[in-house]
Amino acid sequence: MTTKGGCLDGRVAIVTGAASGIGRATARRFADEGAHVVALDLKAPEAPAGGLGIACDVADQASVESAVAQAKERFGKIDVLAHFAGITKDALASKMTLQQWDDVIRVNLTGSFIVAQAVAREMEDGGSIVLTSSRSWLGNIGQANYSASKGGVVSLARTLALELGKRRIRVNALAPGFIETPMTDVVPDRVRDKAVSAIPLGRIGQPEEIAAVATFFASDESSYVSGQTLLIDGGRSVGVGLV
């Protein structure tokens, strides 16, 4: 395999949600760091040079297992999983339909389990799994489904870290705050302004700033870090409780 001299030189990395936002920025960053990127999304995304793009629904076990098999067949191994695919269907809990609840839990939480399980079975010993929680796991009005799904991801990462440690596989989770992507484009200006006013750094984050932390978790730079969830929220969570 060709190498480029980055911290992920020659690694094979599966990135989900790679067509948009944080996943796309991470796929690009991983490729810049020398990884061969297998980019997954509902519609086959354009993969960075030397990579592979595959259409995959993370909520569908057969679809995920097929994508993982294609990645293994093409590159012979899997070293890294960075899992970003996710959705929101916001409503106050009093008005939330069971369908809104089920859809978000299915994609965000069950999808994380499906992807992590399928990749871990095929992953090299010593690999790294990066899941995506959210600052909302602490609780967020209008996001009972999303917050619960992202809280579940924190627990999933911790449990997988315990179970996969014997294979030297590390499992960590990202918990972004307010990041500028298509997912947050729909947030009304009034809500956005209020959110920004509560962020100590005084601005919304960029997808590349999450990709940088994903790169840290994916690479040997975090070789003794496992089972952790890192808030990447411009300091928003500081001073508002136990976390």
Distance CA 156, CA 81 (A): 14
DSSP 78-96: --EEEE-------B-TTT-
Nearest approach in angstroms of CB 34 to ligand NAP is: 23
Q: Answer whether 42's CB lies under 8 Å from 58's CB.
A: no
Of the two residues 52 and 56, which places its CB atom closer to ligand NAP in the complex?
56
- What are φ and ψ of residue 41, in 5° steps? -165, 175
**What strands, in cross-sheet order, belong to the sheet with 36-41?**
52-55, 36-41, 12-16, 80-83, 128-132, 170-176, 229-232
CA angle centred on 142, ends 136 and 148, rounded to 5°: 45
Task: Give the CB-nearest residue to ligand NAP.
Answer: 21
Catalytic residue among 30, 75, 101, 146: 146
> Considering the complex, what minimum distance in angstroms separates the CB of residue 88 from ligand NAP?
7
Residues that bind ligand NAP (CB under 6 A): 16-17, 19-23, 41-42, 56-59, 84-87, 107, 111, 132, 134, 176, 178-179, 181-184
Q: What does the alpha-carbon distance between residue 127 and residue 220 come to, in Å, rounded to a whole number?
A: 9
Instruction: Identify which of residues 104 and 161 has a Cβ nearer to ligand NAP in the complex.
Output: 104
What's the CA gap between 167 and 14, in Å, rounded?
19
- CB of 105 or CB of 183, closer to ligand NAP: 183
Q: CB of residue 9 vs ligand NAP: minimum separation in angstroms?
A: 25
Q: Is 224 a catalytic residue?
A: no
Q: How far is the CB of 45 from ligand NAP (least distance, A)?
A: 8
Tell me whether residue 40 or residue 78 sits nearer to ligand NAP (CB atom).
Answer: 40
Active-site annotation, residues: 146
